[in-house]
Amino acid sequence: MMRISARRSSAATRMLLSAVLAIPSATAFAQDAEPPLGIDTLEATFKWRPNYVSDDMLKNADKDANNWLNYGKGYDQKRYSQLTQINRDNIKKLVPLWNLSFGVNDAQDSQVLSVNGTLYVTSSQNKVFAVEGSTGRILWKYEHPLPADIGPFLCCEAINRGVAVYKDKVYMATLDTQVVALNAWSGKEVWKVKLGDYTSGDIYTSAPLVADGKVIVGNSGGDLGGNAGRISALDPETGKKIWEQFTRPTSPDHPQAKTWGNNSWENGGASAWLTGSYEPSTKTLFWGGGNPAPDFDRHSRPGDNLYSDSTIAMDVETGEIKYHFQYTPNDAWDYSGNNEAILLDDEQGRKVWLHGDRNGHLYSIDRTNGKCNWVVPIARVNWVKEWQENCRPIADPAKVPVKGKLVTDIAPVLDGGKEWHPATYSPKTKMIYIPFIDSSMNIELKDQKFERGKWFLRSKVLSVNPYTGGLKAFNATTGELVWTKPQSFPATSGLVSTAGGLVFSGDAEGYFSAVADDTGEELWRFNVGTGIHGNPTTFTVNGKQVVAIVYGPGGGSLWPLAYAEFMKTHNRGGGVMLFGLPN
């Protein structure tokens, strides 16, 4: 601290910052000397806060080429980088710079955040790593202890999709329903709060979002039915709950209870298991509600089952729901609606969100009122018979699961035409890039009573047909398909687009690839040695652009069940690899 006392004010005030920087200490002046600012007391306190992330940094993260501060880079979830050092002309020179093993083999669905050269990443089993970006050296590691009996309550292995960073803390949501705040420099636990009960199937898998000075997180576990989808906003300093919003009714007098016939809302699922988007100018959060439960028996829960399979727009200050859009009313196929909402203004000047849904369609939705502009298929879809006003689908009865009969070749598979892995939008090309899956499934229903903590699917037979997938690019204003890049394996990672004319992605076979953003031509690929289910991110370390990918197979819905044959010629593993151009 600097403290200077003076007898009286003197000349006109100069710039405070310049004066402070020019004064080495209070003892540099005689006691009777006139202070340079002419004020009686001059004080300045400096506290060293490395890797400090301010509200302004998060708000403008989409314009920050050097860092990756939010789950979707910016609050708009475009996952677009302005960096051009790695580009089409030199991409073939891209090489691994270092590799960090997580030391666990479960599914790895995470991604790297970067704050001025320090990287933060999670692994399965709720581990957090702070890593020196230039070397891959672990600066600190935090391991959250998990209950020994948690396994049966997990959908998709012990996954975690990443952390949030804010001020001097790192935040992770855990499988046993806790949110943990860690000191960003030391990894020491600052606070920990419990939000639910994992023995009911309530778990947390996704990265929190920090918006409007709040840590916001949604729960997972809707397939067990006993938990209402829940979005919670916490105080970042204490963990105290500020507000909570539910994505399905929690009482019979709830306004949406009538959309759940037979009181089916009581065990209705609709968990909020992916990170949302945020529009600071309107203080609006866009968050997804997942599939209703039981997953495949729509007959037991007549009605639209709101807010399952929907994006809901909420007031960030109160959690109040402003409006919603539902993609799959009365879902019978486990299609969810959690996938990201990418916020942009299209070429017609419309304020929209783009959403690639698991039900096999890409949507453009007016983000001022929740009205649909258009809907187009992502991959092969046969469950929709026709479309009504506002892009409301009418299901083909022949593709609705029933008891006593195996309904075959329902497309897409429950993993979706697009799984949870995020798409990317490039303002350079005005295109949205989708990682797609092309497969179908066969379902026969059975009777099943709800039991707390048990899977609630009502499915006697659930089988899948061969998988393929790849990448597709669509005109973000019209929905027109621009190019497609099919592959033998489903697309199982998120995407990143860059001003260098590239789109990065990974696949289940283990290839990390870069394609030309205008044509889809593959320009480079590298085999990381095991399947990729995490997301790529790109940023700079010591002024040089690098690209990070989290690798490790698993997670997801049915695709991992096909690993038995796959693993005869492949190995499991988990870690993060950093790529860059050679010096």
- Where do we find the tokens 């195996």? 406
> Measured between alpha carbons, how far apart are the two ends of the chain, in Å?
43
Q: Which two tokens stand for residue 42?
A: 């001059």
CA–chain centroid gap for 477, Å, is 23
Tokens of 94: 């891209």
Report how far residue 1's alpha carbon sits from residue 166's, in angstroms, rounded to the nearest whole number: 25
Distant-in-sequence, close-in-space partners of 136: CB < 8 Å, separation ≥ 6: 97, 98, 99, 100, 578
Contact predicate 106/552, CB 8 Å: yes
Report how far apart, in Å, the C-alpha atoms of 578 and of each of 66, 113, 167, 454, 541 are: 15, 12, 25, 40, 11
Give the separation between CA 204 and CA 155, rounded to whole angstroms: 11
517 is catalytic: no
Tell me how far the alpha carbon of residue 540 is from its chain's centroid.
21
Measure the CA dihedral 484/424/117/91, to 10°: 20
Exactly one of 76, 295, 334, 517 is catalytic; name it.
334
Burial class from Cβ neighbours inside 10 Å (0-12, 13-18, 19+) for residue 544 reads middle
Active site residues: 334
